Amino acid sequence: MERFEAVIAVMAVGIVVRIICPLLKDKWRDTPVVAVDSSLSCAVPVVGGHHGANQLARLLHSRLGLYPAITTATDSSGRPCLEEMAERLGGAICNPESSKAINLAFLNEDIPLLRLRGPKIVLVDQDVAVLKLRGLVLGIGARKGVAAEEVLSAVDQALKEAGKKREDIAILATADLKREEVGMVEAAEILGKELICLPSKVLNAQAATSPSRARDLGLIGVAEPAVLALARQLIAAKKAYGRVTIAIGE
């Protein structure tokens, strides 16, 4: 099973369980398995729900119309999970043993996301997940009513100038007041990246290097402070591309 990214087993769930039980090691290494009935009406994630099986079941639903019988608690409740958050943020989970406590907490509340810059020594409890980001942080500021096409064009231009590509992006970041900006939300969905909306106090706590028109909104800036709040360093200072401003960090 380790040779495959995922397995679709067209047979009864009971048969699948009996076959794979001797092969199971742990949830972080087991290959995701989805059982599909012979009439191709239902897709049941059996192993690795948060590690690809749920996603595969949803794909079978969108492509073939199979009902995705997803049973993981967070998904059934319409809540996020640690593994999903790590994937959206382009991060690696350093202490996977924290996932049980984090996912149980997600059922009842929103878990805060904090960024700590080193050098530091940090002691964490078992219910604290540590993620290590991999990829670029794109800070985005935009005028009200901006279209998704404008945002995507600005992102592509900024990446080209920095010698980077879309696949190098880990997350997008902006101000909380842009949370309902349809063009930015749609652009993030097209890029397949998480759009992190940061509160004013977080942005204003940063040391932006360039003056910004966002001061009219009570902010020292948007694009650069958003990058500085989440990335280790700024590698491309903010630049305006029409009605969109982009800054890049890593």
- Residue 1 above 70 pLDDT? no
Handedness of CA 66, 72, 76, 80 (dihedral sign): negative
> Which of 98, 108, 27 lies closest to 74, judged by CA?
108
What's the pLDDT tens digit per position in 87-144? Answer: 877 788 989 999 999 999 999 888 887 777 778 888 889 899 988 878 999 999 999 9
Rounded to an integer, the average pLDDT of 61-77 is 93
Residues of the chain with CATH 3.30.420.180: 135-249
Split at pLDDT 50, 70, 90, the class of 75 is: confident
Rounded to an integer, the average pLDDT of 204-223 is 79
**Chain centroid to CA 132:** 13
Residues of the chain with CATH 3.40.50.11220: 7-71
Q: What is the pLDDT of residue 118?
A: 74
- Residue 210 above 80 pLDDT? no
Split at pLDDT 50, 70, 90, the class of 150 is: very high
> Which of 144, 118, 142 lies closest to 132, judged by CA?
118
Q: 239-242: long-range contacts at Cβ-Cβ below 8 A with a sequence spacing of 24 or more?
A: 239/158, 239/161, 241/153, 241/154, 241/157, 241/158, 242/150, 242/153, 242/154
Split at pLDDT 50, 70, 90, the class of 208 is: low
Q: What is the largest CA-CA distance in the chain?
A: 64
Rounded to an integer, the average pLDDT of 9-19 is 95
- Residue 191 above 90 pLDDT? yes
Give the pTM: 0.64
Q: What is the pLDDT of residue 110?
A: 84
For 135-249, CATH gives: 3.30.420.180
- Residue 2 above 70 pLDDT? no
Q: Give 7-71's CATH code, choosing from 3.40.50.11220, 3.40.50.2300, 3.50.50.60, 3.40.50.720.
A: 3.40.50.11220
Q: Residue 141 and residue 38: Cα distance in Å, rounded? A: 50
Q: Looking at per-residue confidence, does 189 or 27 come out higher?
A: 189
Q: Looking at per-residue confidence, does 89 or 22 come out higher?
A: 22
Q: Which helix (H) or strand (E) holds 185?
A: helix 182-191
